[in-house]
Amino acid sequence: MRLATWNVNSIRSRLDRVAAFLDRQDIDVLALQETKCRDDQFPFERFEELGYEVAHLGVNQWNGVAIASRVGLADVELAFPNQPGFDKDAGESLLSTPVVESRALGATCGGVRVWSLYVPNGRALDDPHYTYKLEWLAALRDNAAAWLAAEPEAKIALVGDWNIAPTDDDVWSVSFFEGKTHTSQPERDAFTAVLDTGFADVMRPFAPGPGVYTYWDYTQLRFPRKEGMRIDFVLASPALAATATDALVDREERKGKGASDHAPVITEFALPADLS
């Protein structure tokens, strides 16, 4: 199975690029984030023409997650249990009954439970969205632990834009990000807590060391200057991670006119014939 994740930064703006990417990279399952459209605006027909089933969750021009699969799509969930929410009109505090945003979508594809995740950005260390981000990650961690406790051999992939650079190797400049989100210790601890449940960062064994990035800001010529961050991940359960055979960042998709500010992360798994 070739599984990819991509913060596409508007599916309607980049549909042709996504279609070409699916063909060029021979992708079986693609998780998308920041589709930026409602369900009724999502281009389901184009994906179906390409041989993919699609599940999408989007309620407005913000956020939005999807899973496209040509190896089956079943048991779709529109949020993980107890997923925190946030109300953009809440001011400086979380509400007791916040709105659950379109940030998590789960489906079983070819025997693998795939979660397309768009972790809240956090905005700033003193912003209420930062608290929201940490609560969101804590709830995800609790679910990850529960899933593995219930079924240790389950093949699960937690994929998407995590909005966290978990180590200094994952940013182009440590000093540039000092005092900002994405690299703060609480965020890194929250990411590590998910790994501590048993999930593995599939990319690192195949692409170790600094300079492996998945995101480059549009400003300041960040991409040609190689000033990026690694914030998009495929975290695999132990049973799935054991089958990983390759992982890479497709930097070609960050090039040219109309590119997203993220590049896709592609992983390959050698699954048993009865699964893939």
> pLDDT by residue (tens digit) across 88-123?
665 554 545 578 999 999 999 999 999 999 999 999
Q: Give the closest residue to 80 by CA, choosing from 32, 145, 169, 124.
A: 145
- pTM equals 0.95
- Which string of b and e fits 135-147 if b means at least 16 CB within 10 Å? bbbebbbbbbbeb
The answer to whether 169 is annotated as binding is no
Q: Which residues contact 260 (CB under 8 A, 6 or more apart)?
A: 6, 7, 8, 9, 10, 14, 17, 253, 254
Does residue 250 carry a pLDDT above 80? yes
* CA dist., res. 271 & res. 276, Å (int): 6
Structure tokens at 94: 């979380």
Least confident among 19-23, 142-146, 187-191, 272-276 = 272-276
* Cα end-to-end span (Å), the chain: 6
252 is in an annotated binding site: no
pLDDT confidence of residue 272: 83
Q: Are 29 and 114 in contact (CB under 8 A)?
A: yes
Tokens 């699916």 label which residue? Answer: 22
- Which residues are known to be catalytic? 118, 161, 262
Structure tokens at 121: 């950005």
Whether the pLDDT of residue 134 is over 70: the answer is yes
Domains of the chain: 2-86+97-269 (3.60.10.10)
Q: For residue 11, name the pLDDT band (cuts at 50, 70, 90).
A: very high
Rg (alpha carbons) of the chain, rounded to whole number: 17
**Is residue 163 marked as binding?**
yes
Q: Please, is 160 exposed, middle or buried when counting C-beta atoms within 10 Å of its C-beta (0-12, 13-18, 19+)?
A: buried
Q: What percent of the chain has pLDDT over 70?
A: 95
User: Residues 77-81: contacts with CB within 8 Å, 24+ apart?
Assistant: 77/105, 77/106, 77/107, 78/104, 78/105, 79/103, 79/104, 79/105, 80/104, 80/106, 80/115, 80/139, 80/140, 80/143, 81/143
**Predicted confidence (pLDDT) per residue in 19-72, tens digit:** 999 999 999 999 999 999 999 999 999 999 999 999 999 999 999 999 999 999
Per-residue pLDDT at 99: 84
pLDDT value of position 89: 61
Tell me, what's the pLDDT at 88?
65
CB of 32 closer than 8 Å to CB of 68: yes
Looking at every residue in the chain, the average pLDDT score rounds to 95
- Annotation-wise, does 34 bind a ligand? yes
Residue 56 is assigned to a ligand binding site: no
Helices 185-196 + 128-150 axis angle, to 10: 10
Compute the distance between CA of residue 33 and CA of residue 117 in angstroms, rounded to an integer: 7
At residue 186, the pLDDT reads 98
Q: How confident is the model at residue 86 (pLDDT cuts 50, 70, 90)?
A: confident
Determine the pLDDT at residue 274.
55
Q: What is the pLDDT of residues 172-211, one digit of tens each?
A: 999 999 999 999 999 999 999 999 999 999 999 999 999 9
The mean-pLDDT minimum among 5-19, 47-61, 152-166, 262-276 falls in 262-276
